[in-house]
Amino acid sequence: MASEVKVPALGESVTEATVGEWLKKPGDAVALDEPIASLETDKVAVEVPSPVAGILSEQLVAVGDTVQVGAVIATVEAGDGAAAANPAAAAKAAPAPTPAAAPAPSPAEEESSDPQTLSPAVRRAVLEYGVDPSTIKGTGKDGRLTKEDVIAAAQAKKAAPAPAASAPSPSPAPSASGERREERVKMTRLRQTIAKRLKSAQEDAALLTTFNDVDMTAVIAARDAYKDLFAKKHGIKLGFMSFFAKAATLALKDVPAVNAQIQGDEIVYFDYVDLSVAVSAPNGLVVPVVRNVDRMSFAEIEQAIAAYGQKAKEGTLTMADMQGGTFTISNGGVFGSLMSTPIINPPQSAVLGLHRIEDRPVARNGQVVIRPMMYLALSYDHRIIDGREAVTALKIIKEAIEDPMRLLIDL
C-alpha cells in the first residue's frame, strides 16, 4: 500500500518551501523516518522523513519547485523496505554458500554497501571538496558522516603522493589564454529572503550608525586569568561574546528604546533580552536567538552560542531557533573586519557590530601606549531611537568592557 509523503509544518508564519534536493530516488529503499528530501525555507533547511519503511515509488515534484505545507511530494510503497534498506543485515542472515567462499569485498565496497543519509552540510562539503562519501568512515552518531570527516578525507587525498604513471600519457591541450567564463546559479530561498529583508530594512527604517572604540585590555586579562578554570568547571571555552552579551544587557536595561520595536503605530518595550547572534552558515548568515540572556550566566551564554554555532555548521537549525529576538550582535571581527555599518534585523531596532582586535597607539595619562583596541558600531532605527540614546547605550557597553567589574555590580 502506498503512503503519501507530505510537507511537514515548517514553523510559525511559514507556509511554503522550495525543494532543495532529493535524498532518495524512485526504487530506493527507505527506513521509517529516514529523510528522503531536503526543503529550503526562508531561514533553514528542513528534511522530510518517510512515514513508513518501504520503497520510494514516485517523486511528485522536482528540485526547485515551490511546495505548500501539507502538499504531497512523494509516495512510498510500504513493505520490505526495512530489510532492503539494510542489505548488510540481510546478508548476515542468509546461509553461507557451501561450494566456495566468495572473494572478500574491498573496503570501499563494504562502505558503499550500507547507504548513508547525508545532512545538508555534509552534502555541500562532499560537492565542494569532490570526495566520494562511500569511501569515508563516519565518526558521527551511528557512524554517520560529519563535515569534519569530509574535510579530513579531502586533506588526506590532497596530501597523498600521486601514483607513478606506468607510461607517459598525452597532455591535454592547454586552455586558451584569456578565457572568460560566466556561471549562473539560482539564488537559494534563504539568500533571496536575506536580500529582501536587508533591502526592506534600508527602505523602511531611518538607519544611522554611531561608532566608538573599546580598550580590550581588562577583558583579555580576565579571560587569560580564568579561561582554564572556566573550561574545567563548565566544559566550554570562555570567549569574548559572553562579555559583550552581558554588557549589552546592561545598556538595554538602562536605555529601553534600544531594545524596543515599532509594531504598527505602537512602540513595544521588552523587559527581557532575547539576543540574536549572527553566525555564518553554509548558505549564508543566520541569526539564532539566545532567549532570556539577561538571566543567564557567562557559562550558559557561551554554551548556548556554541550549540547554535555547531547547528549552523551542520545545517540543523530549526525555525524555532530563529524566531524572535529583541537585539542583535554581529561579530565581523572573526573574518578580519576593522569597521563596518551593520544593518538592523527587522523588526528589531538596533544591532551591535564587533570588529577585529588590533594593537594601536592610544593616550593614557598623558603617555602614548599600545593597547588592544576594537571598534564598536551600533546601527539603529532613528524613528524610535534618538542619537542621545544610541550614543549612551554604546558608551555603557564600552565602559562595561573596559571595566568588567561593572558587569558584576550592575553598574
Give me the helices (H) in 130-234, please: 147-159, 189-204, 217-234
User: Stretch 190-201: mean pLDDT, rounded?
Assistant: 78
Provide the pLDDT for residue 100: 45
Nearest to 241 by CA among 316, 313, 309: 309
Contact, 342 vs 373, CB < 8 A? no
The 3 state secondary structure assigned to 223-253 is HHHHHHHHHHHHCCCCCCHHHHHHHHHHHHH
Instruction: Find out whether the peptide bond into 347 is cis, omega within 30 degrees of 0.
Output: yes
All three cell numbers of 159: 596530501
Nearest to 320 by CA among 344, 288, 296: 288
Winning range, highest mean pLDDT, from 9-13, 145-149, 190-194, 291-295: 291-295
Contact, 303 vs 234, CB < 8 A? yes
Provide the pLDDT for residue 376: 97
Q: What tens digit of pLDDT does each residue of 283-338 get?
A: 667 889 999 999 999 999 999 999 998 888 887 888 788 888 999 999 988 889 99
Q: Rounded to whole angstroms, how far apart are CA atoms 385 and 381?
A: 6
Residue for grid cell 538595554: 252
All three cell numbers of 202: 534600508
Domains of the chain: 1-91 (2.40.50.100), 111-159 (4.10.320.10), 197-409 (3.30.559.10)
Contact, 368 vs 362, CB < 8 A? yes
Cα torsion angle, 308, 312, 315, 317, sign: positive
Strand pairing class (350-354; 327-331): parallel
Provide the pLDDT for residue 172: 53
Residue 411 has pLDDT above 60, yes or no: yes
Q: Is 218 exposed, middle or buried (0-12, 13-18, 19+ CB in 10 A)?
A: middle
Residue 341 has pLDDT above 90, yes or no: yes
Q: Write phi, then psi, for 211 (nearest 5 degrees).
A: -120, 155
SS3 49: strand
Q: What tens digit of pLDDT does each residue of 65-92 get?
A: 888 888 888 888 887 544 444 444 334 4
Q: What tens digit of pLDDT does each residue of 89-142 get?
A: 334 434 444 444 444 444 434 433 344 556 666 666 776 677 777 788 777 656
Q: What tens digit of pLDDT does each residue of 362-406 get?
A: 999 999 999 999 999 999 999 999 999 999 999 999 999 999 998
Q: Rounded to whole angstroms, how far apart are CA atoms 15 and 66?
A: 10
Provide the pLDDT for residue 105: 44
Q: Write phi, then psi, for 76 (nearest 5 degrees).
A: -125, 125
Residue 194 has pLDDT above 50, yes or no: yes
Q: Rounded to whole angstroms, how far apart are CA atoms 353 and 126?
A: 33
Q: What percent of the chain has pLDDT over 90?
A: 40
Average per-residue pLDDT for the chain: 81
C-alpha 117 chain-centroid distance: 20
Packing angle, helices 120-129 and 147-159, rounded to 10: 10
- What value does the CA radius of gyration of the chain take, rounded to a whole number of Å? 27
Q: Write phi, then psi, for 377 (nearest 5 degrees).
A: -135, 130
Nearest to 357 by CA among 215, 209, 231, 235: 215
User: Stretch 195-215: mean pLDDT, rounded?
Assistant: 89
Q: Which residues are bridge partners to 363 per DSSP?
A: 368
Nearest to 381 by CA among 209, 195, 266: 209
Which residues are tagged catalytic?
Answer: 382, 386
Cα–Cα separations (whole angstroms), residue 391 to 49, 66, 236, 376, 382: 50, 45, 33, 11, 12
The DSSP output letter for 403 is S
Q: Is residue 279 very low, low, confident or very high in pLDDT (cuts 50, 70, 90)?
A: confident
Nearest to 56 by CA among 88, 89, 78, 82: 78
